Amino acid sequence: MYYEINGNRLPQVRLVDRAVLEPPYVHKKRKPDEYILYVMRKGTLYLEENGQAYTLSEGDVILLDPDFVHQGIRASDCEYYYIHFRHPQIYRHSEDGDFGRLGMQLRSESLQESSGSYKRYQDSWLRFPKMLQLRTQKSYVKIVSLLENAMEQNQNQMENYKVSCACRFMEALVEIAREAVSVHALEKVLEIPDSYRKVQELLRYLNVHYGESITSALIEEKLSCNFDYLNRVFKRTIGKTIFVYLNETRVHHARELLGTTSMKITAIGYRVGFQDESYFSKVFKKYTGVSPAQYEKMTSQPGYARMTDAVATPSPDTVTTGDSPSRQAAT
């Protein structure tokens, strides 16, 4: 079982806090009128929901559903975070066969898309299983930090405190959804080779470090993999070689800086990874058809950004209504 939630809409958080259970206490039986997310801090919690038993320990996350009754099945000694919330667009899927495929598809598309576009806001659906274990310490620490901050925001009750609390909680859900894809989805799909993971890892590295000096030797060192082999796998998976993708990424960010800042062309080239201005101009023209100076002049024309954005800003109806992507595909 997995859930989808529309990331374009903030959840309405009623409560966010920590709970401590000690024997002989047994979790109460209840059927809530809202969703409840538990993130285990320490100890063990024994729960049952809709006839399914769950044993939760440190790092485990579970989403309790308002359609089902949940209750404790034995005394528990534990501490956990709990978040009571509602959301206008959250969907439950009884079969998780599509979870891994959808998660990996979204991951691949996101790693290759233009970050300077409104397009992604039309497909900001988070997906995570009913229960999962946060296996990486970095993700666990970040999620706990976000929940602590959400608690603080919910308690201070300054103006718009609920909005601030909901933003922290939504960010925690994003981290949970990413962890679900990184650890759980990829492990369940056995036919995915290690080379696929290497390509995804390399895409993340190039998207973050494109402005640095990147060589084949450095890539081999960072990914512990032969460059020629990785380059072949990368081209087969992405459709282009590593350095073609890197240059496209650099040119993309250079276009953003040319169109939105007053930085000098030389400084922009250096910032996106080109140490030589003439080489920067040559590569930029190869991918755009114009020189950096010509592009800068073009972007000064009124309305240029609106005309060149591949996808217009979504209307309110686009981002706030409609069924989940999985449901749309099934109809």
SS3 128: strand
- Taking the C-alpha atoms of residue 122 and residue 125, their distance in angstroms, rounded to an integer, is 9
* Paired residues of 44 in beta bridges: 77
pLDDT digits (tens, 9 = 90+) for 21-68: 999 999 999 999 999 999 999 999 999 999 999 999 999 999 999 999
Contacts 24+ apart (CB under 8 A), 259-262: 259/295, 259/296, 259/299, 259/304, 259/305
Q: Which are the contacts of 256, defined by CB distance < 8 A and separation ≥ 6? A: 116
- pTM for the complete prediction? 0.75
Q: Taking 60 as the threshold, does the pLDDT of residue 285 lie above it?
A: yes
2-188 shares its CATH topology with 194-300: no
DSSP character for 30? B
Lowest mean pLDDT segment, chosen from 27-31, 97-101, 213-217: 97-101
Which two tokens mark 201? 């890892």
Which of these, 36, 9, 10, 35, lies nearest to 164 by C-alpha position?
Answer: 10
- Taking the C-alpha atoms of residue 71 and residue 246, their distance in angstroms, rounded to an integer, is 52
- Taking the C-alpha atoms of residue 64 and residue 39, their distance in angstroms, rounded to an integer, is 11
Task: Delimit the domains of the chain by residue range.
Answer: 2-188, 194-300
Which region, left, alpha or beta, applies to residue 276 given φ > 0 means left and ψ of -120 to 50 means alpha?
A: beta
SS3 291: coil
Which two tokens mark 247? 């240059």
Q: What is 194-300's CATH number?
A: 1.10.10.60
- Taking the C-alpha atoms of residue 163 and residue 168, their distance in angstroms, rounded to an integer, is 9
pLDDT of residue 121: 63
Q: What average pLDDT does the structure give for the chain?
A: 85
pLDDT digits (tens, 9 = 90+) for 178-204: 888 877 655 655 455 677 778 888 998
**Cα–Cα separations (whole angstroms), residue 181 to 126, 133, 211:** 10, 12, 27
Q: Does domain 2-188 have CATH number 1.10.20.60?
A: no
